[in-house]
Structures are given as structure tokens and as C-alpha cells.
Amino acid sequence: MNGILPLHKPKGLTSHDCVMRVRKLLHIKKVGHTGTLDPEVEGVLPICIGEATKIIPYVLHLKKVYIADVALGKATTTEDKEGDVIEQKEVSSPPTDEEIEKVLQKFKGDIIQIPPMYSAVKVKGKRLYEYARAGINVERPQRNVTIFQIERKRLNDYLINDKFRIKVTCSKGTYIRTLCVDIGKKLGYPAHMAYLKRIESDSFHIDDTYTFDELEKAVDENRLEDILLPVDRGLNHLDTMQVDEKTKAKILQGQKFPLPSQKFKTESFKVMHHNELLAIYKLHKNEEIKPERVFNIYKNVGE
């Protein structure tokens, strides 16, 4: 069983909970996710199964798209609605559409973030949330992230006194909670993130996801293949090298090859035989190519 399950992660479960539940449902140990979502966050969580777990390092860094609600007037310990309120200011005169748009554009591009205390970032071998729970304040490392797109997301007249919705396309490692707090500061108010949903994870979109109920039904009806995507679906961002049947057998043996005449835009690239994903290779010393991952998906390797 090899493939990618585009899961619609529900609220209330950790990403690890989702992995464990899939393992139990499918009776398979090789299961992993491609990017953590906090328990109270819902949305796209691609789950890699079997040989697909080998592609996880290649998709973790890809861009993500979120829908988030910025709530003005209150700052919390966790930077979301779950934390204790640590600062308040009445929103007696809500910002105008123009003011919001102007501030949002200031965050577009490369920005520096300081991760929240209630996060999994490690400092001196311990998670920040461990320090936070112990009441210990430590210096948090800055991180560089990229906001590719940020815009106001209108749902009818969604600006209700203290809250508005944004859509953010960003790089790996971006804390949307922190982004909401920083946006609030630019607007002159303490703020927190009131809602978050991941609607895209690279090429996986929320409209293409399946709930656990739908997964369970597919398992019961013995049609899991209807919802599992092929492994190479997670590697659309990599260049492709097509090989013939004879070369296919050598690829599956993990052999190195002289540098081909084909030019690659990505350092790593997938090797395919027609629609079969065989391996991920990379350029090596500008003289040859060598395998990084070899996939044991297709048994008829040829002679």
C-alpha cells in the first residue's frame, strides 16, 4: 500500500494523532505527515503511506496557504484564542478597509518572526512550550520567513467590530499566530489569531481532501485506491527524467550515471518510466547523477 492520503484534518487532533489513526485503520506502520498543524487547526494534511514516506523531506519546505481570522483588542499568552488574555484595548473605532489593506502589504515578502513561547521551537534542547508551562521566559531565536501573498478575505461584511479574515500564502516555518499579532500591532491594537484553516499545502487543495469518515467508508467498501493519490503527486515541484525499460532496472538498483544532456532546474529530480516513479536522483559533483531515494513500488523491474 503506497500513496498519499489528502486528509482533511479535523479540529481536536494533533497531526501525530492523525498518523496513528491512519495506521490503525489501514494496518500499516509506514505512515507520516508532511507538516504539523496545531490541534485546534483544521485543513489540508497530506498523509504519506508506505513508500510515499520517502518523499516527506521533499515536501516539508513547500509553500502553504491559510485562511485566518485576526481578532483585535486582546493579546493572549498563546497568540490564539486558547490562551489567557495578557493585554486588552477596546476597539472603539475599527480600522477601515484601506488601513487594513495598507498594513497587510507591509508584510508581503521576506519578514522576520519571533516564534511564540507556546511553540515547538527548540532552545537549548527544550521546546519553547516547555519553558512557557514552567513560567520561564527565554530568548527566542528570530527566523526568516516569506509571505508570498497576503490579502483581505471577504465573507459578506466580515469586519465585525474587532475581527477580519485574511488569506496568506507563505513559506515553511511561518507562524500565522504571530503574523496576526504583528498585524494587530501595526493597526495599533493588541491582537490574536481567532481561527485558522490550511486550505492548500503545495499542490494539495482543501477541495480534494477526505475526512476520516470518508476514509473509513472507503476502507469498509474496499476502495481505498479511489482516494489514495500516487506517490509522485507530491513531487510536482521537481523536474522529471524519463528512462527506458533497460535503464529502469539499473535505476531500481541504485546505480549512478554520467551527467545526462538534459538540463534540470531543480538539484533533485524524479526519475520516471512512463507513469511509474522509480527514484529521486540528484546532481553529484557536476559529473554524474546519483540516487537519493529509490522506490520499491513497481515490482516488474525488467531484466
How many whole angstroms separate alpha carbon 57 and alpha carbon 71? 34
All three cell numbers of 110 = 521576506
Told to judge if 38 belongs to the known catalytic residues of this protein, a careful annotator would answer yes
How many whole angstroms separate alpha carbon 95 and alpha carbon 156? 17
Please state the φ and ψ torsions of residue 8, each to the nearest 5 degrees: -90, 100
The number of CA neighbours under 13 Å toward the Cβ of 212 is 15
Please state the φ and ψ torsions of residue 239, each to the nearest 5 degrees: -65, 165
Q: What are the strands of the beta sheet with 276-284, ordered from one edge?
A: 239-242, 268-273, 276-284, 288-294, 257-258
Catalytic residue selected from 17, 38, 80, 157: 38
Alpha helices in the chain (DSSP H): 15-26, 56-59, 97-105, 128-133, 176-187, 212-220, 245-252
The count of other CB atoms within 10 Å of the CB of residue 39 is: 15
* Beta-strand runs (E) in 2-57: 3-9, 31-33, 42-49
Give the active site residues: 38
